[in-house]
Amino acid sequence: MSVFDLDGVVQSLHTVRQQWREDQRRLLEPGGRDLPSRDALGGIVNTLKGVLFPMRLGPPDLRQESENLYIAHSLDSAMHALLAQAELELNYKRRRDDARSLTPVREDAVSRVRRFAQRLPDVRRLLDSDVLAAYHGDPAAGSVDEVLLCYPGVLAMIHHRLAHELYRLGLPLLARVLSELAHAQTGIDVHPGAQIGASFFIDHGTGVVIGETAVIGERVRVYQAVTLGAKRFPKNADGHLEKGLARHPIVEDDVVIYAGATVLGRVRLGRGAVIGGNVWLVDDVAPGAHVTQSASRDAGARVSAPKTAPADSTTTPSAVS
């Protein structure tokens, strides 16, 4: 009937889908969708931004004297919406694992969401430290409010600190969606499993990638296109990749990593170390050391003497601000 002869296309698409479902051993259960929704999680994280920073990221007509009313209602709504998504993930997981559990899914989901909510004040506290770190770390920053309003690195951390709580509470799929929402907006790709201390600052940010088992201390600063990655993927006896091994760097307090630097494997960057732009690193770095590109290029990693003031006016290449 249609000018495009779509009947055959519809039928072929059906055939391809059935093939996929058979290959994936999916039961053809009549019924609705069983996956968490990216849109729903986007709505939840937007509400939470207002809950965490009501007068700066909340609705424009909010007044300070109504903050708590707004937060109480919005948080309640967001937590119920999150509950629905958490149930979807838990159900999905049980179906895939063919798992039996003594705890009903709903009860389980309620408990996880409750614990998530209780973490929010700490999340806000950490984010305040990140905002201050950005303000103090970037001479171009005019105010703490500009930082919260504009900086992609701060947006990425809001998503990450929320996603990390979900990850710790056994909701890794929801966590991942939150991370990817930030990745799409900022070009910053932080795995929700990464552990990141207070006062963390990512400047510019595009192209930053931080892996699942990275551990980052306090007051660390990184610039665009920095990678904290894995060096190798060991295989197990079955020939499958080992999962869950600690395979990403440990970055101690007060480290600075300039743009384009790549740090791979379970290496340790000692307290106060400074890694220059474009440096390629697969070894540990001593506390306070300065690693620059020319050094690494010629000799594998020339290490300069430790300094007490890691961010002084000597050469610190590849910062832009």
Residues 64-103, interacting with a copy of itself (CB under 8 A):
64-77, 79-80, 92, 96
Residue 124 as a binder of a copy of itself (CB under 8 A): the answer is yes
Residue 295 as a binder of a copy of itself (CB under 8 A): the answer is no
Residue 158 as a binder of a copy of itself (CB under 8 A): the answer is no
Q: What is residue 258's DSSP assignment? A: -
Instruction: Name the residue nearer to a copy of itself (CB basis): 185 or 195.
Output: 185
Q: How far is CA 165 from CA 73, 176, 194, 316, in A?
A: 21, 11, 11, 34
- In angstroms, the CA 166 to CA 162 distance is 7
Query: Least separation, in Å, of the C-beta of 291 and a copy of itself?
Result: 14
Total number of residues binding a copy of itself (CB under 8 A)?
136
**For residue 280, what are the β-bridge partners?**
262
Query: Chain-centre distance of CA 97, in angstroms?
Result: 26
Residue 308 as a binder of a copy of itself (CB under 8 A): the answer is no
Residue 189 as a binder of a copy of itself (CB under 8 A): the answer is yes
Contact between 289 and 273 under an 8 Å Cβ cutoff? The reply is yes
Q: Which residues of 130-155 are buried (b: 16+ CB within 10 A; e: fewer)?
A: bbebbbebbeebeebeebbeebbbbb
- Residues of span 31-50 touching a copy of itself by CB under 8 A: 31-33, 35-40
**For residue 251, what are the β-bridge partners?**
216, 269
Closest to 228 measured CA to CA, from 254, 247, 201, 244: 247
Query: Least separation, in Å, of the C-beta of 58 and a copy of itself?
Result: 8
Query: Least separation, in Å, of the C-beta of 276 and a copy of itself?
Result: 10
Coil/strand/helix, residue 277: coil
- In angstroms, the CA 54 to CA 70 distance is 8
Query: Least separation, in Å, of the C-beta of 215 and a copy of itself?
Result: 15
- Residues of span 197-226 touching a copy of itself by CB under 8 A: 204, 206-207, 209-212, 224-225
**For residue 213, what are the β-bridge partners?**
none
Query: Least separation, in Å, of the C-beta of 129 and a copy of itself?
Result: 10
Coil/strand/helix, residue 222: strand
| E-state strands within 31-83 | none
**Phi, psi angle pair for 262, to nearest 5°:** -125, 125
- Residues of span 232-271 touching a copy of itself by CB under 8 A: 232-235, 241-243, 248, 259-260, 262, 264
Residue from 44, 45, 52, 257 binding a copy of itself (CB under 8 A): 52
Residue from 43, 108, 128, 304 binding a copy of itself (CB under 8 A): 128
Residue 277 as a binder of a copy of itself (CB under 8 A): the answer is yes
Residue from 60, 98, 100, 102 binding a copy of itself (CB under 8 A): 60
Stretch that binds a copy of itself, among 23-31, 161-169, 267-275, 283-291 (CB under 8 A): 23-31
Instruction: Name the residue nearer to a copy of itself (CB basis): 61 or 305.
Output: 61
Query: Least separation, in Å, of the C-beta of 100 and a copy of itself?
Result: 19
